[in-house]
Amino acid sequence: MTPFRLDETLDLRAAGVLRAALLERRGADLQVDASSVVHLGGLCAQVLAAAALTWAADGVALTFPAASDAFEQGARLLGLHSTLLSEGFPT
């Protein structure tokens, strides 16, 4: 499986594109490569959290095997670290 690589800047302008790209991949296990993210904005973090919930409800895995410090820090500041970076989303 080829990981889905996130853009460096996940801001307001990137949210719609990110949502569409994730929806195209719905229904199958997905590895999200967040290793090059330098900015994680609130709206994109919400899109990613919603994807984590959706994938869990669908019974498939959405994981973040590689995450930059900026991505981890942004997720932590927004209260989404355990949702986005835990070993499997709690159901």
Q: How confident is the model at residue 1, as a pLDDT? A: 72
Distance of CA 15 to the CA centre of its chain: 11
pLDDT per residue as tens digits for the range 20-53: 999 999 999 999 999 999 999 999 999 999 999 9
Please give the backbone phi and psi of residue 39, each rounded to the nearest 5 degrees, phi first. -145, 125
Measured distance CA(45)–CA(47) in Å, rounded: 5
The model's pTM is: 0.90
Positive or negative, the CA dihedral 23, 24, 30, 35 is: negative
Please give the domain boundaries of the chain with CATH numbers for all domains. 4-85 (3.30.750.24)
Using alpha carbons, select from 47, 36, 28 the residue that is nearest to residue 5.
36
